[in-house]
Amino acid sequence: MPLSFRLSEMIMSLWVPRAIYAAATLRIPDVLATGAMRSDELARAIAAHPAAVHRLLRGLVLLELCAETADGAFELTSLGDCLRSDSSDSVRSWALLMGSPGVWRARGRLADCVRTGEHAWKLEGADVFELMQDDPEGAAIFNQAMLELTTRAARAVVAAYDYAGLETIVDLGGGYGTLVAAILAAHPIMRGVVLDRPHCQAGAERLIEEAGLDDRAEFVADEVFDVVPVGADGYLLKSVIHDWDDERSLAILRNCRAAMGKRARLLVVEPLAPERLGSSRFDTIVVASDLNMLVNTGGQERTEAEFRTLLEAAGLRIARIVATRGAMRVVEVLPT
Ligand SMILES: C[S@@+](CC[C@H](N)C(=O)[O-])C[C@H]1O[C@@H](n2cnc3c(N)ncnc32)[C@H](O)[C@@H]1O
């Protein structure tokens, strides 16, 4: 195959996330979950253009989200099932977030971000988390997308790390509190606090109630850059430090250090970027996430050495790094 053909394929590959986004937006997987349908039947069910629906379905067949039956109907595959809104392994909100106009606009400015080192929102005088304050719908998609990703990661993080001896754990920038709820479910005498901005409050309180954790968990609306609550023996930062540049990350870590008593532990849960890139699926995920941070938040994925430097500057040190069966690592951090 000529190399230019291979490159052209990569250039054209933008149809993949767009087709997934379209399917998620039109709720095609939810409708097909009720049974196989011909494209014209599906078009009627979702009030869309029959021939165009047929063309999208063919794309979804290529992506193995759907399969075409012998009589020309389309059915959902187990991969397509993950795009259903009520799947226990759903990534529908993640698809909606990654395909949203804001994310695409930011992605479109990658070259400007590389030229300047600034994230796309900053180039437009904005900040993605500030924008969420005034955009409840966008914030809900973001928070639900984080819930989806963290639900999977939480199983691995709960299984991998020994939480024995911790009485109270504070999940800083904890979103809806997915991780802390999973930890509390596995440790019946532990208490938990989810600290995040007000756009997470309703969702976090709902999750706490549905998990039956009202008597052991609470949501606190606050800023990680202001002050971190004292008195806990465990602090969690999952997928938070990677959102920020070194200066802002250091501010969060110094706040943690100031709140931590001598016996407190900080658990930083992130994938560690490899010193040298290989070609594994994990390396691909880390690079994709790193470029996402470059355009969307101004943060980055960091190597173990980069974490050590940052933590030392905040008066903290890595006690150990626990691998999980997923991409995440649990970096156990203690005061120096
Ligand atoms: C990438 S999400 C991670 C959420 C959660 N820890 C998880 O892994 O599912 C980053 C979180 O940081 C929160 N955040 C951003 N700025 C914050 C601030 N200044 N104070 C508190 N939380 C903040 C966001 O609202 C968001 O929930």
CA 214 to chain centre: 25
Q: Whose CA is nearest to atom 18 of ligand 1?
A: 223
Q: What domains can you pick out in the chain, each with its CATH number?
A: 3-85 (1.10.10.10), 101-335 (3.40.50.150)
First to last CA, the chain: 56
User: How far does residue 86's CA lie from ligand 1's centre (Å)?
Assistant: 24
Query: How far apart, in whole angstroms, are the C-alpha atoms of residue 133 and residue 196?
Result: 12
User: How far does residue 277's CA lie from ligand 1's centre (Å)?
Assistant: 28
Q: Whose CA is nearest to atom 20 of ligand 1?
A: 223
User: How far does residue 95's CA lie from ligand 1's centre (Å)?
Assistant: 19
Closest listed residue to residue 254, CA positions, set 243, 269, 263, 266: 266
Structure tokens at 285: 């995920």
CA 115 to chain centre: 26
Strand, coil or helix: what is 289?
helix
**pLDDT, one tens digit for every residue, the chain (336 residues):** 899 999 999 999 999 999 999 999 999 999 999 999 999 999 999 999 999 999 999 999 999 999 999 999 999 999 999 999 999 999 999 999 999 999 999 999 999 999 999 999 999 999 999 999 999 999 999 999 999 999 999 999 999 999 999 999 999 999 999 999 999 999 999 999 999 999 999 999 999 999 999 999 999 999 999 989 999 999 999 999 999 999 999 999 999 999 998 899 999 999 999 999 998 889 999 999 999 999 999 999 999 999 999 999 999 999 999 999 999 999 999 999
Q: Ligand 1: residues whose CB is within 6 Å? A: 129, 146, 150, 173-175, 178, 196-197, 200, 223-225, 238-240, 243
Top mutation candidate among 151, 197, 226, 245 for ligand 1, by most atoms within 8 Å of CB: 197
Catalytic residues: 242
